[in-house]
Amino acid sequence: MFTGKDIARFANIETPFYYYDLELLQQTLNACARAADTYNFHVHYALKANFNPAVLNAVRNKGFGADCVSIGEVLRAIELGFDAGKVVFAGVGKSDREINQALDADIFCFNVESVQELEVINELAAAKGKRARVAIRINPNVDAHTHHNITTGLDENKFGVNSWDLPACVQTLKNAPNLEFVGIHFHIGSQIMNLDVYKNLCVRVNEFAGWFEDKGFIVKVLNVGGGLGIDYHNPNAQIPDFESYFRIFSEFLEVKPYQEVHFELGRALVGQCASLISRALYVKNGKKKNFVVLDAGMTELMRPALYQAYHQIENLSKTDAATALRYDIVGPICESTDCFAKEVELPETHRGDLFAIRSAGAYGEVMASGYNLRERAPSVFPE
């Protein structure tokens, strides 16, 4: 929620911009750390959710590791002070250049997504006289019950090694002197709100861990990924229930004394800490539709155009809802999909009104583009 002081300040700042609530971010990180420490779980922050330096500094100061999906993210994390020994490098398509740079950085491990990738990492590590630590990302064929475009753990998805390829993985690992197997990795999707899904994941993790140990491997790390969602419909209920989330894994994972449980949380940590602040450029009232045209668009927040994601939208300039109308909230980009929401009931809106698009802390700023040669929106922080 925004105070009158916040709104008065926003009126003097050129829009659009991302507004970060760093106090809320810290509260969220603290809640996550407390819950994880209860079970001695290890948290790696997924940089793809938000790599704003202020956000990363707060995460690093909490002692979390870094989950990266490009060499750019790996290098950014290390540059900002993350311990390289807590950096993992995932991604279905790592280039030779990226692998070589990660080897030079001596990261904790690669989350490997194919038999061929194992072979490539072994060859590149051998050329450098190094041993690369690897975890096998397994596709467990667990339905995350989330949007089709953000599920990652089904047989039809491009991610991970399918179960029928695991014997080939085992054979490759046994013949790869420059690889050190550390464990197994899973990630089944994003914006998961039904915690029962994770019970199903735990069953599969237990099965695959047992399978690898039956083949003579010591599974030191059980990396169960992330995917915990946030409540986009109620952004003021701002901190996810990390305690219930971690308790699921404590109860249903079969963890041996020598094993560590790792998590890769992104959205749940940062999703509610930022809003996209915009201004109404024009109001177009018609017979069938009323439009509010904002100065922010899909170039600042891609999620609604990309997979019809919901964000709560508020007119900060109007507190009196006596006269309410329904509006389609759209942006200025020359694309019909440049629409944040349809038929939103709002106080009667006028040119110049300030708007907040809530819950933009994850996959907002990081997905921004320069399409239409638009300037990048800046980040603004509390005074």
Instruction: Answer for the pair 28, 273: CB distance below 8 angstroms, yes or no.
Output: yes
| pTM, entire model | 0.93
Q: Is the pLDDT of residue 135 over 70?
A: yes
Q: Is the pLDDT of residue 6 over 90?
A: yes
**Could you give the percent of the chain with pLDDT greater than 90?**
87
Instruction: Answer for the pair 223, 264: CB distance below 8 angstroms, yes or no.
Output: yes
Rounded (5°) CA angle 16-22-27: 140
List Cβ neighbours of 248 (8 Å cut-off, separation of 6 or more). 195, 198, 199, 202
Give Cα 326 distance to the centre of its chain. Answer: 32
pLDDT for res 140: 84
Q: Is the pLDDT of residue 370 over 50?
A: yes
Token pair, residue 305, equals 């155009």
Instruction: Answer for the pair 292, 330: CB distance below 8 angstroms, yes or no.
Output: yes
Q: Is the pLDDT of residue 150 over 50?
A: no
Q: Can you tell me the mean pLDDT for 186-192?
A: 91
What whole-number distance in Å separates Cα of residue 17 and Cα of residue 379? 6
Q: Is the pLDDT of residue 321 over 80?
A: no
Mind listing the domains of the chain with CATH numbers?
A: 4-17+272-380 (2.40.37.10), 23-271 (3.20.20.10)
pLDDT for res 286: 76
Q: How far lies 71's CA from each of 64, 124, 357, in Å?
A: 19, 15, 31
What whole-number distance in Å separates Cα of residue 108 and Cα of residue 323? 58
Q: Is the pLDDT of residue 94 over 60?
A: yes
Least confident of 50-64, 130-144, 306-320, 337-351: 130-144
Q: Is the pLDDT of residue 91 over 80?
A: yes
Other C-beta atoms closer than 10 Å to the C-beta of 34 total 12
Token pair, residue 322, equals 């006596």
Of 191, 372, 362, 381, give the one whose Cα is nearest residue 296. Answer: 372
**Could you give the percent of the chain with pLDDT greater than 70?**
95
Instruction: Answer for the pair 151, 189: CB distance below 8 angstroms, yes or no.
Output: yes
Q: Can you tell me the mean pLDDT for 346-365?
A: 97
Give the residue carrying structure tokens 């089904």.
154
DSSP letter assigned to residue 175: T
CA torsion, ordered 227, 233, 238, 240, to nearest 10 deg:
-30
Per-residue confidence band for 148, with pLDDT thresholds at 50, 70 and 90: very low
Beta bridge partners of 89: 68, 110
Give Cα 26 distance to the centre of its chain. Answer: 17
pLDDT in tens, 264-314: 999 999 999 999 999 999 999 877 899 999 999 999 999 999 989 999 999
Amino acid occupying residue 181: F
Q: Is the pLDDT of residue 217 over 70?
A: yes
Rounded (5°) CA angle 105-55-187: 65
pLDDT in tens, 7-53: 999 999 999 999 999 999 999 999 999 999 999 999 999 999 999 99
Other C-beta atoms closer than 10 Å to the C-beta of 177 total 10
List Cβ neighbours of 16 (8 Å cut-off, separation of 6 or more). 276, 277, 278, 279, 294, 295, 296, 300, 377
Instruction: Answer for the pair 16, 295: CB distance below 8 angstroms, yes or no.
Output: yes
- Strand segments (E) across the chain: 17-20, 42-46, 65-68, 87-89, 109-112, 132-137, 179-185, 221-223, 260-265, 274-285, 290-294, 313-315, 324-330, 339-347, 354-357, 379-380
Token pair, residue 361, equals 């802390």
Q: Can you tell me the mean pLDDT for 46-67?
A: 98
* In the chain, alpha helices (H): 4-10, 22-38, 53-61, 71-79, 96-105, 115-127, 166-174, 196-214, 242-252, 267-270, 303-307
Q: How many Cα atoms are found within 13 Å in the side-chain-facing hemisphere of 345?
A: 5
Other C-beta atoms closer than 10 Å to the C-beta of 1 total 10
